[in-house]
């Protein structure tokens, strides 16, 4: 992306994916999600945009979904992955 023109919504997306402070992450993701949804609505009422932007919007939406799953849905900020053994640890 260096040297490339960004779509206006991409600034919000990049801010979300680069956010390292978990306390700010949900807000960044929400802002990016809203910007992407707004642009999709604009394009739906207009000419549909370029195939490149449509592809970038889809990729960004998938990226935010992963980010939400991995980092925003963490109950304790511990990595976003749940144990497959039901939370039980071996005794002994």
Q: Which two tokens stand for residue 92?
A: 């002994």
Q: Which two tokens stand for residue 77?
A: 């900020």
Distance of CA 57 to the CA centre of its chain: 11
The span from the CA of 76 to the CA of 55, in Å, is: 34
Q: Which two tokens stand for residue 85?
A: 């053994």
Query: What is the tens place of the pLDDT at every residue in 12-70?
Result: 999 999 999 999 999 999 999 999 999 999 999 988 889 999 999 999 999 999 999 98
**Global pTM?**
0.72
Tokens 């889809």 identify what position?
A: 58
Domain ranges in the chain? 8-72
């Amino acid at each position: 992306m260096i040297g490339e023109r960004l779509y206006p919504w991409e600034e919000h997306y990049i801010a979300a994916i680069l956010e390292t402070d978990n306390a700010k992450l949900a807000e960044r993701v929400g802002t990016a999600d809203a910007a992407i949804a707004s642009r999709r609505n604009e394009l739906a009422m207009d000419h549909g945009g370029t195939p490149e932007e449509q592809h970038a919007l889809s990729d960004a939406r998938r990226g935010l979904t992963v980010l939400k799953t991995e980092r925003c849905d963490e109950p304790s900020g511990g990595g976003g992955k749940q144990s497959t053994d039901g939370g039980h640890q071996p005794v002994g």
